Amino acid sequence: MQSSYKRLGNYIEQSHQKNDDNIIKLLQGISNKKYFQKAKTNTIGIDLSKYRIVRTGEFAFNRATTRNGDKISIALRKNEDCIVSPSYRIFKSKDENILNSQYLMMWYNRPEFDRYARFKSHGSAHEFFDWDEMCDVELPVPSIDKQKEIVKEYHTITDRIKLNESLNQKLEETAQAIYKEWFVNFEFPNVEGKPYKSSGGEMVFCDELDGKIPVGWNGSRYEHVMNFTTGKLNSNAAVINGKFPFFTCSAETFKTNTFAFDTEAVLLAGNNASAIYPLKFFIGKFDAYQRTYVITTNDQRLSNQQIYFTIKDELENFKGISSGTATKFLTMQILNNLKICLANKEVSIKFHRIIKELFNLIDLNTKELEQLNEFKDILLSKMATIEDE
């Protein structure tokens, strides 16, 4: 460590407050992405007085680092007081005018800290990073004004990241709402600009879909209108700071230095232990894991965007129809036989034009998000070289 680094134990103090009389009912866990989340524990019949209280402005961390994705689960409580597992450790800054808690949380967000915590973890069957190890952490502690300046710069970036993520979510929700109105409710605009079905648009029975659809539309199966391929890479092909997106069966998108695809496609996880299959849409160069489906249209009436929303509507059903025991699989036999509704050429073109504009905005925001995350990572890495003033 640099000579300017200080031992963290000199600046923090532990809290041992228990939830006496069951005053607090909000039980939380901590993600390895370093935020509080709803605890998985079933609290029915559980004595909550044994749990530890985390006050607003206090830190909590899970000592166990085994099977935690090489990360330590730690977070700063920003919302109302909550309770956590008795095995967690709770602490706070002794003096916010000397060590700012948000500055310290930035240090914990550095990947170098996760690697340090894993290296310092100890145990046989299970490894732990405990209070003593936390106190032995060393880090730069510049003046409080410098700390606040760094925190402000960091929040400027992270606030913009949250804004872009919110915008993308709203844009996708808008696109999905349009999809459902057109392809589920059949309320696309008719020649007069009025909702088709509720304005008396002619409907005919479709044997393939076992229901009525607009006249001139068709039903089909996935195998007839979609191309399915898979990636060739193993899951360990991901590299830090790779050049291209690497899609696996994880909800997280990784990076790699190779690309096997350069196209617009829908990415669907082919297996998952919990039968939750991440679904993504991407345009450009990318690579994929060997159990990740790369899906594109082979029918002029069908856009890749419609494929995305059609499959998204099926995700909940996949939990019941996927095969396997310990790991659930989406096989081609399952996917090929799924049904899809195809609009006539005129409606298909209109839908694709509208949705493509929304997806283009999402793509622009996503590219800005990548740059913002790079700036965030650079700022976090620079913390290691901060000198006393």
Q: Locate tokens 């060997």: which residue?
A: 290
Give the Å distances, CA to CA, from 17 to 26, 27, 83, 91.
15, 15, 10, 10
Q: Let me know if residue 127 belongs to a domain.
A: yes
245 in Cβ contact with 278 (< 8 Å): no
DSSP assignment of 42-111: --TT--GGGSEEE-TT-EEE-SB-TTSTT---EEE--SS-EEE-TTSEEEEES-TTTS-HHHHHHHHTSH
Instruction: Name the domain boundary from 141, 163, 183.
Output: 141
Q: Let me know if residue 180 belongs to a domain.
A: no
Q: Let me know if residue 166 belongs to a domain.
A: no
Cα distance between residue 167 and residue 151, in whole Å: 24
Q: Return the pLDDT at 359.
A: 95
Do residues 11 and 132 both lie within one domain?
Answer: yes
What is the CATH number for 60?
3.90.220.20
Q: Let me know if residue 163 belongs to a domain.
A: no
Parent domain of 260: 218-342
Contacts of 176 (CB under 8 A, 6+ apart): 309, 312
- pTM for the whole thing? 0.84
Give Dmax over CA atoms of the chain in angstroms.
79
Q: Return the pLDDT at 389.
A: 56
Instruction: Name the domain boundary from 327, 342, 357.
Output: 342
Q: Let me know if residue 165 belongs to a domain.
A: no
Q: What is the pLDDT along the chain (389 residues), one digit of tens a residue?
A: 466 899 999 999 999 899 988 889 899 999 999 999 998 877 777 888 999 999 999 999 999 888 777 889 999 999 999 999 999 999 999 999 999 999 999 999 999 999 999 999 998 778 899 999 999 999 999 999 999 999 999 999 999 999 999 999 999 999 999 999 999 999 999 999 999 999 999 999 999 999 999 999 999 999 999 999 999 999 889 998 899 999 999 999 999 999 999 999 999 999 988 888 999 999 999 999 999 999 999 999 999 999 999 999 999 888 888 877 778 899 999 999 999 999 999 999 999 999 999 999 999 999 999 999 999 999 999 999 987 65
Q: Let me know if residue 118 belongs to a domain.
A: yes
